Amino acid sequence: MIAIIDYKAGNLTSVARAVNYLGFSCKITNDRKDIMASDHIIFPGVGAAGKAMTNLADLGLDRMLNEAYRAAKPILGICLGTQIIFEHSEEDDADCLGLLPGSVKRFPDLLYENGMRLKIPHMGWNNVRWVREHPVFASLPDNLQYYFVHSFYPEPNDEGLGVGKTTYGIEFSSAVAKENLVAVQFHPEKSGQPGLKILSNFCLWRP
């Protein structure tokens, strides 16, 4: 069973629908026993980092996620769930989970590409350039597009954590991985067949 963590950060039903479509059983839950008994954990989310961290702490899920990571349980972060696995976010000046070394930065207010000013948030389809191989992103070429909605982006301290890069005025890490943890800034559940391939690869992954 795949546990989809419910910490009042939205975006859960579409993730569950995609996982079920792929033929995997899943449960939206904030129950520690369910999560620790699961085979895999999906940690999605939309919203603000500060509120998300408050919700996680209130539910005791901040400690549980650290425990699950140390126990080598496969974890997939999505969007906000990717940002708050790092140590700190400029959004709300929030201290985060610290599963990976690094921080989360806000896109510059003045952001340009090909002489045109870009809108913040970064919203819509964009490419991911894969910079190293990983089983969760296997068989995905560079020319595919994924759906993004975000104003902040992860900046790992260790460049070796990056698996995928995306350019939106600046280049940032849109996919990271370490040991049993993978995370993507985009929404695989809203990214058509390429996104479904990532979810399927994750659900089958045995790190």
3-state SS, one letter per residue, for the chain: CEEEECCCCCCHHHHHHHHHHCCCCEEEECCHHHHHHCCEEEECCCCCHHHHHHHHHHHCHHHHHHHHHHCCCCEEEECHHHHCCCCEECHHHEECCCCCCEEEEECCCCCEECCEECCCCEEEEEECEECCCCHHHCCCCCCCEEEEEECEEEEECCHHHEEEEEEECEEEEEEEEECCEEEECCEHHHCHHHHHHHHHHHHHCCC
Biggest alpha carbon–alpha carbon distance for the chain: 52
Backbone φ, ψ for residue 67 (5° rounding): -65, -45
Residues annotated as catalytic (active site), given as ranges: 79, 187, 189
Alpha-carbon distance of 80 to 151, in angstroms, equals 10
